[in-house]
Amino acid sequence: MSININNVFHTYSKKTPFEYKALDGISLEIKDNSFVAIIGKTGSGKSTLIQHLNAILLPDEGTIEVDEYKITPQDTKTSYKNLRQHIGLVFQFSEYQLFEETILKDVMFGPLNFDVEEDKAKELAKTYLNLVGIKDELFEKSPFDLSGGQKRRVAIAGVLAMEPDIIVLDEPTAGLDPQGANEMMQMFLELKNDFNKTLIIVSHDMDFVYKYADEVILLSGGKKIFHQDTVSFFNNDHVYQYGIEKPQILALYENVFNKKAEYFVNYDTLINLLVEAINNVK
């Protein structure tokens, strides 16, 4: 499912001293089966934008089109149940999405809400809990007894169990150790490739963005500043004016070879070049 965002504006606390324009005329397209990262400093509009994708927030002006669905300022938030089955959103603070008495029931809730039979919902819940690394012996525990990283995994399983076409993740590796974060990102990549999912990730981790994303969207002050393929983006000197950190692997390459990486160099190529350089030193 592709997404077209057309001249979208959103302002919080209108006509009060706290009025704040979070989105300021954003237009962009996210293609089907792509892996897109949305980045920017705190307050740039990232979380506000992704909450428009399944009509948690409605635009003040403009439209969002997701295949046959069209979100407009005149719509009601209650009219998007079917859309929300196609777009799964995992919030940054996963504990906000957990509420049932057991982990299994929590993950079953989404499918049951979309009229999936109970046995099928249980099967889906078990499948996706295992997929994100939650073992069977934890299924009957309370989700509130879990660590922060485990809560994040359960929240993600709850979204995956609805089998959405588009998966939107706000800081999905928060609370995970480096190994767990890499395992999670690899799982998302496999979902995209094996099941034709579209992935949209909000992240402050530029190394993960550089390694996994196909495209990068940079927001600043509620505006879209750049939307480029990942390699071109990180080789664009102008992006660093907006407080974006250079991926560590890219910075290491430039220090080792004393030159900027060529425009075609992706993450895996950089790794191979650095390994070759280390072996030559030996």
In the chain, the percentage of residues whose pLDDT exceeds 90 is 56
Amino acid identity of residue 232, one-letter, is: S
Q: Which domain holds residue 110?
A: 3-244
- Same domain, residue pair 113 and 186: yes
- Same domain, residue pair 216 and 251: no
**What average pLDDT does the chain have?**
89
- Same domain, residue pair 148 and 215: yes
So what's the pLDDT on residue 109? Answer: 94
So what's the pLDDT on residue 262? Answer: 66
- Same domain, residue pair 145 and 85: yes
- Same domain, residue pair 211 and 273: no
pLDDT digits (tens, 9 = 90+) for 66-114: 988 899 998 765 567 788 889 999 887 767 788 899 999 999 999 999 8
Could you tell me the CATH number of the domain that includes residue 187?
A: 3.40.50.300
What is the spatial distance between Cα 167 and Cα 90, in angstroms, rounded to a whole number?
Answer: 8
Q: Does residue 17 surpass a pLDDT of 80? A: yes
3-class secondary structure, 30: strand
So what's the pLDDT on residue 111? Answer: 93
- Same domain, residue pair 19 and 100: yes
3-class secondary structure, 82: helix
What is the spatial distance between Cα 103 and Cα 151, in angstroms, rounded to a whole number?
Answer: 9
- Same domain, residue pair 62 and 197: yes
DSSP string of 231-270, one letter each residue: HHHHT-GGGGGGTPPPPHHHHHHHHHHTSPPPTT--HHHH
- Same domain, residue pair 12 and 70: yes
Query: Number of structural domains, the chain?
Result: 2
